[in-house]
Amino acid sequence: MTSAQRPRVAVLLATYNGMPYVPEQVESILAQDGVDVRIVVSDDGSRDGTWEWLLECAERDPRVQLLPRIAPSGASARNFYRLVRDVELEPGEFAAFADQDDVWLPHKLRAQLELMASTGADAVSGNVTAFWADGREHLLKKDYPQRRYDYLTQSPGPGCTFLMTPRLVALSRDVLESVPTAQDATFHDSLIYAIGRAAGWVWHIGSEPLVRYRQHDANVMGANAGAAGATARFRMLANRWHRQQAVIHAQAGLHVAPEGTRAELEHMLDLLDGGGWRRRMELAGHARQLRRRPRDQAIMWALIVSGVW
For residue 1, being part of any structural domain is answered with: no
Do 276 and 192 reside in the same domain of the chain?
Answer: no
Work out the pLDDT band at 5, boundaries 50, 70, 90.
confident
Quickly state the pLDDT bin for 216 (edges 50, 70, 90).
Answer: confident
| Residue at which a domain ends, from 178, 196, 223 | 223
How does residue 217 score in pLDDT terms, banded at 50, 70 and 90? confident
Decide if 162 is inside a domain: yes
For residue range 127-142, what is the model confidence (pLDDT) as tens digits? Answer: 999 999 999 999 999 9
Please give the single-letter amino acid code of residue 186.
Answer: T
- Helix boundaries (H) for the chain: 22-30, 50-60, 76-86, 108-119, 166-178, 188-198, 226-238, 241-256, 259-273, 277-284, 287-290, 294-306
Residue 62 and residue 205 in one domain: yes
| Residue 294 domain boundaries | 228-306
Determine the Cα–Cα distance for residues 171 and 200; give it in Å rounded to an integer: 12
Task: Indicate whether 170 and 296 sit together in one domain.
Answer: no
- For the chain, what percentages of helix, strand and coil (3-state, to nearest 5) are there? 45, 15, 40
Greater confidence, 209 or 4?
Answer: 209
Across the chain, mean pLDDT equals 94
Q: State the pLDDT confidence band at 269, using cuts at 50, 70 and 90.
A: very high
Q: Kindly indicate the confidence band of residue 219, based on its pLDDT and cuts at 50, 70 and 90.
A: low
Count other C-beta atoms under 10 Å from residue 145's C-beta.
9
Q: Are 154 and 190 in contact (CB under 8 A)?
A: yes
165-169 average pLDDT score: 98
Choosing from 202, 223, 244, the residue where a domain stops is 223
Give pLDDT, residue 51: 98
Same domain, 249 and 202: no
Q: Is residue 3 part of a domain?
A: no
Say if residues 32 and 108 touch (Cβ distance below 8 Å): yes
Q: What is the CA radius of gyration of the chain?
A: 19
Residues 78 and 187 grouped into a single domain: yes
Task: Residue 25: give its domain's CATH number.
Answer: 3.90.550.10
pLDDT (mean) for 151-178: 98
pLDDT over 70 at 196, yes or no? yes
Quick: pLDDT tens for 15-63.
Answer: 999 999 999 999 999 999 999 999 999 999 999 999 999 999 999 999 9
Whether the pLDDT of residue 290 is over 90: the answer is yes
Beta bridge partners of 140: 128
112: in domain: yes
**Chosen domain end from 223, 256, 282:** 223
Instruction: Report, as an integer, the average pLDDT of 80-93.
Output: 97
Q: Are residues 126 and 200 in the same domain?
A: yes
pLDDT of residue 226 exceeding 70: no
Whether 4 shows a pLDDT value over 80: the answer reads: no
Same domain, 282 and 243: yes
Predicted local confidence at residue 239, as pLDDT:
73
130 and 97 share one domain: yes
Rounded CA gap, 93 and 225, in Å?
A: 35
**Averaged pLDDT for residues 157-177:** 98
Evaluate whether residue 54 is within a structural domain.
yes
At residue 89, the pLDDT reads 97
**100 and 232 fall within a common domain:** no
- Report the C-alpha gap between 214 and 22 in whole angstroms: 12
Higher pLDDT, 222 or 212: 212
**pLDDT single digits (tens) 50-80:** 999 999 999 999 999 999 999 999 999 999 9
The H or E element spanning position 95 is: strand 94-98
Mark whether 14 and 67 lie in a shared domain.
yes
21 and 61 inside one domain: yes
pLDDT band at 235 (very low <50, low <70, confident <90, very high): low
Answer yes or no: is 104 within a domain. yes
User: Are the CB atoms for 194 and 272 separated by under 8 Å?
Assistant: no
How much is the pTM?
Answer: 0.94
Count of structural domains within the chain: 2
Q: Are residues 157 and 302 in the same domain?
A: no
> Quick one: pLDDT at residue 1?
52
Tell whether 36 is covered by a domain. yes
In a domain, 2, yes or no: no
